[in-house]
Amino acid sequence: MNGKDISGKVISVGCAQKTVEQQAELKWKFEQLKQERISRYQGVNLYIKNLDDTVGDENLRKEFSPFGSITSAKVMLEDGRSKGFGFVCFSSPEAIKAVTKMNGCVMSSKPLYVALARRRGKGSAYLTDQDMQWVAGKRALPAGPS
């Protein structure tokens, strides 16, 4: 009976479950969807900043299309206006050459900054590691003349 249409409504039928069992199953399904999404966008995700206000999603797609198949191109907006940065996601890792080729290129009178995008939450951890290495390096240097 699961998935059957009764009076215009599709019904869901399954074994009775305790709340804990149901939550565990939903958590597992959510993790599967998350892994599927990650594998789908396994290519290269680029961060582009210093975009002119006139640049839109289609302009980004057009400029970066020579480097491979693009799965998404998005200029970030706030209240309908460009925030000056965006992302371009490629389906294959070979598109990483777009970073070196497009960084510094002029698009609509502004030079672009192009880099690999980092996942959310990784940025502050990366900076913390950088700061720790810098402090460790400072401590390792001999003191100058007093």
Tell me the pLDDT tens digit for each residue of 9-25.
999 888 888 999 999 99
Q: Hey, is 14 helix, strand or coil?
A: coil
Would residue 20 count as lying in a domain? no
Would residue 36 count as lying in a domain? no
**Over residues 103-122, mean pLDDT:** 84
Chain segment 55-101, per-residue pLDDT in tens: 999 999 999 999 988 989 999 999 989 999 999 998 887 778 888 89
Would residue 15 count as lying in a domain? no
Would residue 33 count as lying in a domain? no
**Percent of residues, the chain, with pLDDT higher than 90:** 47
Q: Hey, is 132 helix, strand or coil?
A: helix
Are the C-beta atoms of residues 89 and 60 closer than 8 Å to each other? no
Q: Give the model's pLDDT for residue 109.
A: 87
Would residue 122 count as lying in a domain? no
CATH number of the structural domain spanning residue 56? 3.30.70.330
**Structural domain count of the chain:** 1
Would residue 74 count as lying in a domain? yes
| Sheet strands side by side (includes 81-90) | 70-78, 81-90, 45-49, 113-116
**Over residues 140-145, mean pLDDT:** 55
Would residue 22 count as lying in a domain? no
Q: Give the model's pLDDT for residue 93.
A: 77
Would residue 25 count as lying in a domain? no
| Residues of the domain holding 100 | 43-116
Q: Hey, is 18 helix, strand or coil?
A: coil
H-state helical runs in 41-121:
57-64, 97-102
